[in-house]
Amino acid sequence: MKRVWLCIGILGVILCLSAGWLACLYDRTKEMSRLIDNCVTLAENDSEDTREAILELCDYWESFYGIASLFENSLALNSISDSVSKLMPLYEKDNDELFSECEMIKVACDRIFRSNMPFVSDAIAD
C-alpha cells in the first residue's frame, strides 16, 4: 500500500510542476505580448519612448529565454532571439519590417505556449 501512495505522490508532484510551468509560461507570454504591442503602438506614433520600449522588450526576452530554455528546444528560442536582436536596428533605420518582426515574435511566443498545452488529441496521436 505504501507503493501506491508513493506513486500517487509522485504523480501529484509531476502534475503540480506541470501546472506551475504552464502558469509561468502563460504569464510570461502575455507580458511579452503586451511589451510587443507597446513597441508597435509607440513606433506607429513615432514616439520618443519607442527606443526604451524596445530595450525593455529585449531585456524581458533575455529573462524569458533563460526560463524557457529549460523546457524548449533551442531552435525555436534562437529564432525569436534573432528577431528580437533585429528590432533596434530596424527601428533606427525607420524600416517597416519592424512591425513584421514584432508580429513574428508574438506568434512564436504564442506557439511555444501552445506547444506546452496538453491536448487529448496530442496524446492519442502518439
C-alpha span between 36 and 56 (Å, rounded)? 10
Tell me the CATH architecture of domain 25-117.
Answer: Up-down Bundle (1.20)
Three-state secondary structure of 28-75: HHHHHHHHHHHHHHHHHCCCCCHHHHHHHHHHHHHHHHHHHCCCCCHH
User: What distance in Å separates the CA atoms of residue 43 and residue 98, rounded to the nearest whole number?
Assistant: 9
Mean pLDDT per 10-residue run, the chain (126 residues)? 92 93 91 94 89 94 87 84 92 88 92 79 54
**Per the confidence metrics, is the pTM higher than 0.75?**
yes
